[in-house]
Amino acid sequence: MAVVAGLVRGPLRQASGLLKRRFHRSAPAAVQLTVREAINQGMDEELERDEKVFLLGEEVAQYDGAYKVSRGLWKKYGDKRIIDTPISEMGFAGIAVGAAMAGLRPICEFMTFNFSMQAIDQVINSAAKTYYMSAGLQPVPIVFRGPNGASAGVAAQHSQCFAAWYGHCPGLKVVSPWNSEDAKGLIKSAIRDNNPVVMLENELMYGVAFELPAEAQSKDFLIPIGKAKIERQGTHITVVAHSRPVGHCLEAAAVLSKEGIECEVINLRTIRPMDIEAIEASVMKTNHLVTVEGGWPQFGVGAEICARIMEGPAFNFLDAPAVRVTGADVPMPYAKVLEDNSIPQVKDIIFAVKKTLNI
């Protein structure tokens, strides 16, 4: 009997071992995470990793942030590292810049980037220029972050996009995430960077959930600043966007695909330094270009892309002039029907693509 039992148990043990080994080899499944949760997770991991990192801004601590992006961080890290400030952007931005010069790594949250205009002297003159003016002796490792661009029903003074404003200034790095993967990877890279980084989020994207791939769930996950991502492969036309309009471009591409038009959609991720090489490589393949942004047209991100393409090797590959899709050249109206017509919609992108392709 003992011999028989041994013969039976042997194969069972082997089978059990195989099953265990296969189970442990399985990759972690992707999870659903909102953009808000992704930024929160990224900041939490960096606060835990480096005691020099701290967050300050209006309502970021006890209230968990105006948009709940810093939810739970005050309870976890306390008053010294999650700091509520008075309503004084120039004051607390100056405190943050000084802290960065002293060796800390502040994350300075603006309740909206429209309010950063109160602190723009600190962002540009104090943070962006100091490393250069000190001949590389004084780094300023700081992150300025918060919602940027049009929201909904908040009118002209709370609806502008600052990508072109801050992207214009040497000394700054400027990132603009679209989905949860972008948000987590870019906030972590921004915090670790030794240069001042402006992170332009979008209020309307905070509550949108995206699938976070397995590699992005790691505490070591970073997205390199200055690298764009091809979100959809295509052969007929290149469509370049950043932030919320990336989603509109993908929706337009899905509609156009049914008509036999294959769009290559590029998510810029970084405004400065811009990954112009990725755009050039795509244009050399598709021979057509459309840029999409929520900001105003004059001196905008799309204008810069078009100029760089014209000046570079990809220009000779264009079969038609590049076309820009932008926000309307007006202060944002309050009325909803006017507001909807002042920012790019899916139909506007479809129209621009067909115009470029002469369809």
Residues designated catalytic = 89, 158
CA angle 259, 261, 262 (to 5 degrees): 130
Dig out the tokens for 262 from the structure: 């294959």
Q: How many residues does the chain have?
A: 359
DSSP E strands in 85-194: the ranges are 105-109, 143-147, 173-175
Phi, psi of 241 (to 5 degrees): -150, 170
Phi, psi for 87 (deg, rounded to 5): -80, 80
Token pair belonging to 125: 């003159």
Structural contact between residues 189 and 222, judged by C-beta atoms closer than 8 angstroms: yes
Pinpoint the alpha helices (H) of 245-345.
Answer: 245-257, 276-286, 301-311, 336-340
Tokens coding 168: 């214009």
Nearest to 302 by CA among 356, 338, 347, 251: 356
The SS3 call for residue 214 is: helix
Contact 218, 75 (CB under 8 A): no
Residue 212 and residue 34: Cα distance in Å, rounded? Answer: 9
